[in-house]
Amino acid sequence: MGATVLGNRYEILRKVGDGGMAFVYEARDQLLNRRVAVKVLRPEYVDDEEFLEKFKREAKAVASLSHPNIVNVYDVGEDGKVNYIIMEYVDGKNLKEIIQSEGTLDEYTALDITKQIAMALSSAHRNGIIHRDIKPHNILISNEGRVVKVADFGIAKAVSSSTMTNIGSVIGSVHYFSPEQAKGKHISANADLYSLGIVLYEMIVGRVPFVGESPISIALKHINDEIEFTPEQEVKIPQSIRTLISKMTEKSPDERYQTAEELIEDIEYIEKNIDLDFIKEYDDFATRKIDERDINNFNRNRRGIAPIPMPLNGEDEDFDEEYYDDDDEYYDDEDEYIESPRERRLRKKREKELAKKNKKKDTPQARKKLKIIAGVLILILIAQVFFLFKILGFNVFGAFGSKNMVDVPNVVEMSFDDAKATLEKDGLVIKLKSREYSSTIPEDEIISQDPKDGKLKKGSSVEVVVSRGKENVQVPNVTGLPLTQAKKVLEENELELGDVKYEYSTEPEGTVISQSVVGGSGVAGEKVSLVVSKGREERETPRMNQPDLEEEIRNNNRNNENEGSDSEIRRPNTNTPNTPNNNTNPGGETNTNPGGTGNGSGTTTTPGGQTGGHGSTGGNTTEITPRR
């Protein structure tokens, strides 16, 4: 059976690893004739188009990174339904295997590995890539030179966004991710530093700080529980390393190291000044009872007399024939004090022990500390002398040095090219320190410079920090939320509340109806305007005007007067046309008017439109027509 070849180039040799997301094989690049590692995506992710797109995009982004502590990505491709990444082959073990075989690592080795990982993260973070899955399984250590290589940059980002429900397949990740990842919130670069703090703890202690029955229970411990050390660990692990781990694993991102560079600086400080035995010296300061003999001996030492320990049973317990001298004299003409042979032996023994103790104190480490202290004192003295000369107006270097000194111009808020031209005009060199996001300084302009002012020798460098513009952030959908909650959500996503407009709506009062920026991404600090519901609009009931009201009152009064007289009240005729009209008078007689003519003095208008004559009604008739 022939060998398997991917992309007509990479010959698969053997399987070397099996992860939650991919299989890893050792292969040979037939074109360049070199060993490479091939990471093949698991079959369950092959049909997820969104995942595949992110998988390829992130892999290509990491391929642009070049750092000695990052596993290089050479190629990304697919062969049929097989999606793969070609990476640098590291001949060694991953950090998890080393911890399992060795148990714990010594402080210096653990700090060195942590520093190399931080250097890799620093390079990635400067290029806008967050690892999101720092754990011992992704840290490779070569057999030669113990070089640390960080693998799987960017891949974890694709996993967390598409397969969060399949969290159990990413073996071990839940033990290392940050509290903000556990909450599903937006994460920043120092989330990787939290995970690195968990890795450092595991290297020092030999286990992870949080365990549980399920991934959810472990995630809750990351959110709520603090990392603690047992009393035995506090004695064994130096205070400086415990403090370092505590700061790396702060629950709030704002209280952690903000950059990998800050972490590297503290690690280098610990490497230069760490004292593995200083914790044990704390026992010397424990509360204890002082024997009366120690007080007496102290007083004898002050008078120049050798101390005499008093045995409890009256025996000379400290007698040692090795210190007995037959030539000891009982009396010394040059000394007023007569020293007995026993006191002489004890004095010699004490002097010998004291000499050994002093010799032990004179170690290279103690001498190094003395040199550092002496150097600091000398620098302080020199600084004071220079300061004194400056106050008195003396030029320490003389007039001959002033010709090569130039004033440092202010290049803040200039474009990089303008700043470079300005500095070169004065004989200085611009040096790019870093690029950072800024909400106030436009892209490619200078945020800060070091030094800010003063004088420099021609040819010196001025470090500048250049703006990358405003940072892109996700714009959340806040429609349907109360205004106060919508404002809080915007602020959590580094956005600001803009203008607020109120309109009538069927939505409950105080609810956000619409927003000016919908979905997608915006820039940090961008203002989002909102339209908020005023509730349903209330319509007023039409009211009767004053003239109509007054006439209605007059009609009602007229009706009351007619009811009190013998006059007939004639109501509107409700009969249809050509139908006889029946008029009933108060006397009980019923008059039938077939056509509407008579000899009375009243006037009757029928619905048919005919007008009757003067009919006999037995009296005057007044008709009241209701208002329509």
Run of H or E residues at 523: strand 521-523
Q: What is the pLDDT of residues 305-335, one digit of tens each?
A: 555 554 444 444 444 444 444 444 433 444 4
pLDDT at 474: 75
The two tokens of residue 493 are: 């996503």
- The residues with which 18 forms a beta bridge, in sequence order, are 23
The DSSP symbol for 401 reads: G
Q: Which fold has domain 472-533?
A: Trypsin Inhibitor V; Chain A (3.30.10)
Q: How confident is the model at residue 53 (pLDDT cuts 50, 70, 90)?
A: confident
Those residues whose C-beta lies under 8 Å from the C-beta of residue 298, and which sit 6 or more positions away, are 307
Sign of CA dihedral 537, 538, 539, 545: negative
DSSP E strands in 524-589: the ranges are: 527-533, 568-570, 581-584
Which has the closest alpha carbon to 487: 501, 498, 474?
A: 498
Those residues whose C-beta lies under 8 Å from the C-beta of residue 576, and which sit 6 or more positions away, are 607, 608
Q: What whole-number distance in Å separates Cα of residue 361 and Cα of residue 54?
A: 61
- Domain range 399-467, CATH architecture: 2-Layer Sandwich (3.30)
Same fold, 399-467 and 472-533: yes
* Residue bearing the bigger pLDDT, 130 or 304: 130
Check pLDDT > 50 for residue 358. yes
Check pLDDT > 90 for residue 171. no
Run of H or E residues at 82: strand 82-88
Q: What is the pLDDT of residues 457-467, one digit of tens each?
A: 888 899 999 99
Active site residues: 133
Domain positions in the chain are: 5-88, 95-273, 292-361, 399-467, 472-533
Sign of CA dihedral 475, 480, 483, 486: negative
Residue whose token pair is 């290049």: 411
pLDDT at 603: 41
Q: What strands lie across the sheet with 512-515, from one edge to the other?
A: 496-503, 527-533, 512-515
Q: Under a CB-based contact definition with an 8 Å cutoff, are residues 58 and 196 in contact?
A: no
456-481 residues labelled b (16+ CB within 10 A) or e (exposed): beeebebebbbbbbbbebebbebeeb
Q: What is the mean pLDDT of residues 160-187?
A: 64
Reduced to 3 states (helix: H, G, I; strand: E, B; else coil), residue 38 is strand
- Domain range 95-273, CATH architecture: Orthogonal Bundle (1.10)
Q: What whole-number distance in Å separates Cα of residue 227 and Cα of residue 268?
A: 23
pLDDT at 492: 82
CA separation, residue 22 to residues 85, 91, 171 (Å): 10, 19, 12
Q: What whole-number distance in Å separates Cα of residue 376 and Cα of residue 611?
A: 128
* Residue bearing the bigger pLDDT, 20 or 285: 20
Which has the closest alpha carbon to 442: 481, 416, 475?
A: 416
Helices (H), 507-603: 546-563
- The residues with which 12 forms a beta bridge, in sequence order, are 27
DSSP string of 458-483, one letter each residue = TT-EEEEEEE--SPEEE----TTSBH
Q: Which of the residue ranges 23-32, 450-459, 577-586 has the most confident prediction, judged by mean pLDDT? A: 23-32
CATH superfamily of 5-88: Phosphorylase Kinase; domain 1 (3.30.200.20)
Residue count (the chain): 628
Check pLDDT > 70 for residue 288. no
Q: What is the pLDDT of residues 575-622, one digit of tens each?
A: 444 444 444 444 444 444 444 444 444 444 444 444 444 444 444 444
Residue 308 phi/psi, 5-degree rounding, is -125, 105
pLDDT at 539: 66
* Residue bearing the bigger pLDDT, 471 or 504: 504
DSSP string of 67-78, one letter each residue = -TTBPPEEEEEE
